[in-house]
Amino acid sequence: MNILEHVGIGNYITLSALLFCIGAFGLLYRRNAIIMFMSIEIMLNAVNLLLVAFSSYHEDPSGQVFVFFTMAVAAAEVAVGLAILVSVFRNIGNIDIDNLKNLKG
Amino acid sequence: MNTTILLLLFTPLVGFLINTFFGKSLGKTISGVLGTTAIVVSFLCAICLFSQINANGKSFTFHLADWFSIGNIKINFSFLFDQLSVLWLLFVTGIGSLIHLYSISYMHEDENMHKFFSYLNLFVFFMIALVAGSNLLIMFIGWEGVGLCSYLLIGFWYKNQDYNDAAKKAFIMNRIGDLGFLIGIFILGYIFNSLEFSEIAKGINSEVFLKTIDLPLLSLAALCLFIGACGKSAQLPLATWLPDAMAGPTPVSALIHAATMVTAGIFMITRMNFLFDLTPDIQNIIAIVGAITAIVAASIGLVQNDIKKVLAYSTVSQLGLMFLALGLGAYEVAVFHVITHAFFKACLFLGSGSVIHALHGEQDMRNMGGLRKVMPITFWTMMISTLAISGIFPFSGFWSKDEILMTAFHTNIPLWVVGSIASIMTAFYMFRLMYLTFFNDFRGTEEQKHHLHESPALITIPLVILATLAAIGGAISLPGNSWLNHYLAPLFAHKSHEAHTLGTTEYTLMAVATLGALLGIAIAYSKYLMKKEIPVVDEEVQGLHKVLSNKYYLDEIYMASIVKPIYVISNFAKNYVEKFISTAVIGIGGATYALSIKGKKIQNGNIGVYLFAFIFGMVGFLVYVFIIRDVK
């Protein structure tokens, strides 16, 4: 509550929206899979920030608890994703997603 | 007692299984002996049961297993042993044993002998189920089963397409009857809430039922059952399959198409006699159909040249006489004729088989003749049976046929006239058969003449036994002092019986019947023995003779009135309906395929594009939810 007295909830929402957009555009424009992963992490953390902010605003701790779960899932996702990237790199020598077209219909 | 019943029921089945799975490796003789033993065991058990029931007169039900229950109807695998079923079992297994014995020798040349015996055993098993079943459904299982075995055995020599067609014809004609039977069963189940014979009999005789009787529905049930009987027992209009069924090996004709299976219809009507007694209209129909069948079949039999075809038409005609008796309510007379007929007709068929065997497959009587001296046993046994079927005193057929005619005379004179004419015809064509086959000179080839021989003992022993029975079988029901009527009396307990007293009328009737038979014999004698006439070749027959030779064109009429229209309908369905449906179905498939060919372009495998679509879609969704919808 006291934090929100110094910086208003609107600022958190704006920051979160900005971070999310940065992540989304990064995901769209970059072709390097690791950078794309980082973009996804930024988007996830934008959402996390929003969750924490609203949790304070509503004085409801369940939002913060939910963030922990999000982080755990994100960590697992990164672990699996990086493992896939390593094996992709071994197979085709780079991790540019434009080269991953073998599943073309 | 339970062991006896289980042995009776299941030894033929065991014989069937062994012969089916191991018959080929057992060798011909062992497989034949095995099949015969199975039936003999059944026969011995049947004798046990018969002596028990004959002694104490108590019928009983043997409960084997539960089957299923729907609503109030409970169906069990249970078997009813009473006077009627045990009597039937006795002659089915007895004649079955003799014919199995005969087949060991008769079928010895055939490579598929084990198959023959396994089918025969299966047939006997189903026949026992048909006869002994204590409810209509068990009877129906047996009914279908014997139909199947009949089909398998008619088409036993499956390499001949005509024989296959005959088998199919028999099966399909029977299906028509079976449908009637099945509908009858449904109606009875609906009325009585049970399919057990005892329950139906109890229900039908209860006061409540007699007060609230729904006669049209009951008549419909009786009519449906009669249609079933028509199919199985080859009555008009479903009679045409039986003569064609002669394509099967001769023992099959003797067992299935003369002595046992074709009498199933008579058995069923006798079993349901309490039902038919309440529906006099249906009884009239039965009597008339029986009389018409008797005379039509007998008249066709007059001109047949195939020795087995003559006997086949004779069977149809005799079955017609039995139905005549059933229709007049004289069930015990019909049963009597079934039994004597089983003896002499089985003997005649086996005798004709012996002749065919000696002539290496020749069945045309125009190519026979003079066999009396070479085959004395076959000749004498067949002669006795011929005398029996013609109704000559004191052979068995005289007594049974005479009783049918006497019953007809007392109730319905026109039916008596028809029956008597059919009997005269019977005497004529049977003696025609005998004269053409056994008298005068041999008309076959020199080669055949060289090989002529009396058949071996395995063939002649059954012939002698059956001929003896055909001669003395009438003793079981002599007029005035009938063991059979007394024995069967508990079955017809619900109605009073007036026994035929032997008066002047009866003696006159007997004399008339005998004179008629002698007349038939005399015509045959003058035509075929004195003048030594030989039937002309098929192309030269004319006029009425031609109509008879072509069986009143019955097959042609059925072809034009039923088979052809069905072909037209099915051709229409094939060429138009089928085409329409398949075009529609294939069209839907084709459209889906074309669409997917276009659609798969979207999935180009580029992750960037997927991500773009994903985020763009997400943004579009959010824009709709938070902006467009809010503005509205």
Q: At residue B548, does pLDDT exceed 80?
A: no
pLDDT at B212: 76
Number of domains chain A contains = 1
Which segments within A1-105 are labelled E, that is strand?
Answer: none
Choose, out of B602, B609, B615, the residue to mutate when testing the contact with A (most A CBs < 10 Å): B615
Closest Cα in chain A, distance from residue B23 (Å): 60
Cis omega before residue B237 (within 30°)?
yes
- Taking the C-alpha atoms of residue B137 and residue B75, their distance in angstroms, rounded to an integer, is 8
pLDDT at B496: 52
In a domain, A103, yes or no: no
In a domain, A40, yes or no: yes
Facing residue for B600 by CB, picked from A36, A98, A105: A105
Query: At CA B130, angle to CA B12 and CA B167, rounded to 5?
Result: 80
Q: Which two tokens stand for residue B427?
A: 């005497």
pLDDT classification of B391: cutoffs 50, 70, 90: confident
Least confident of B139-153, B194-208, B321-335: B194-208
Residue A24 CB coordination number (10 Å)? 21
Residue B453 CB coordination number (10 Å)? 10
The 3 state secondary structure assigned to B223-261 is HHHHHHHHHHCCCCCCCCHHHHHHHCCHHHHHHHHHHCH
Strand partners for B481:
B478
Facing residue for B615 by CB, picked from A27, A31, A104: A27
- Taking the C-alpha atoms of residue B546 and residue B516, their distance in angstroms, rounded to an integer, is 25
pLDDT classification of B501: cutoffs 50, 70, 90: low
Query: At CA B381, angle to CA B349 and CA B113, rounded to 5?
Result: 40
A·B CB contacts under 8 A: 31
For B213-245, letters b (16+ CB in 10 Å) and e give eeeeebbbbbbbbbbbbbbbbbbbebbbbbbbb
pLDDT at A103: 64
Least confident of B165-179, B344-358, B480-494: B480-494
Least confident of B110-119, B524-533, B583-592, B611-620: B524-533
Cis omega before residue B565 (within 30°)?
no
pLDDT classification of A73: cutoffs 50, 70, 90: very high
Strand partners for B66:
B76
pLDDT at B36: 92
Given an 8 Å threshold on Cβ–Cβ distance, is B605 in contact with A24? no
> For B256-314, what is each residue's pLDDT tens digit?
888 888 899 999 999 998 888 888 899 999 999 999 999 999 999 888 888 899 999 99
CA-based nearest residue in chain A for residue B605:
A104
Query: What mean pLDDT value characterizes chain B?
Result: 87
Domain that residue A60 falls in = 2-98
| Averaged pLDDT, B416-442 | 89
Interface residues of A toward B, Cβ cutoff 8 Å, are: 24, 27-28, 31, 36, 97-98, 100-105
Chain B residues within an 8 Å CB radius of A98: 606, 608
| Averaged pLDDT, B421-434 | 90
In a domain, A69, yes or no: yes
CA-based nearest residue in chain A for residue B596:
A105
- Taking the C-alpha atoms of residue B384 and residue B344, their distance in angstroms, rounded to an integer, is 8
Residue with tokens 């008249």: B299
Q: At residue B94, does pLDDT exceed 70?
A: yes
In a domain, A87, yes or no: yes
> For B576-622, what is each residue's pLDDT tens digit?
999 999 999 999 999 999 999 888 887 777 777 888 888 899 889 98
Query: What's at B531, amino acid-wise?
Result: K
Chain A residues within an 8 Å CB radius of B607: 97, 100
- Taking the C-alpha atoms of residue A34 and residue A90, their distance in angstroms, rounded to an integer, is 15
Given an 8 Å threshold on Cβ–Cβ distance, is A24 in contact with B615? yes
pLDDT classification of A2: cutoffs 50, 70, 90: low
More reliable by pLDDT, B240 or B446: B240
- DSSP code string of B551-596: GGGHHHHHIIIIIHHHHHHHHHIIIIIHHHHHHHHHHHHHHHHHHH
Given an 8 Å threshold on Cβ–Cβ distance, is A28 in contact with B611? yes
Q: Where are the domains of chain B?
A: 279-493+500-549, 557-631
Facing residue for A27 by CB, picked from B603, B605, B611: B611
pLDDT classification of A3: cutoffs 50, 70, 90: low
In chain B, which among 589-628 make CB contacts under 8 A with chain A? 600-608, 611-612, 615
In a domain, A105, yes or no: no
| Averaged pLDDT, B204-228 | 85
CATH code where residue A32 lies = 1.10.287.3510
Given an 8 Å threshold on Cβ–Cβ distance, is A28 in contact with B603? no
Facing residue for A101 by CB, picked from B605, B611, B612: B605
Given an 8 Å threshold on Cβ–Cβ distance, is B605 in contact with A28? no
Given an 8 Å threshold on Cβ–Cβ distance, is B604 in contact with A101? yes
pLDDT at B495: 61
> For A34-49, what is each residue's pLDDT tens digit?
898 899 999 999 999 9
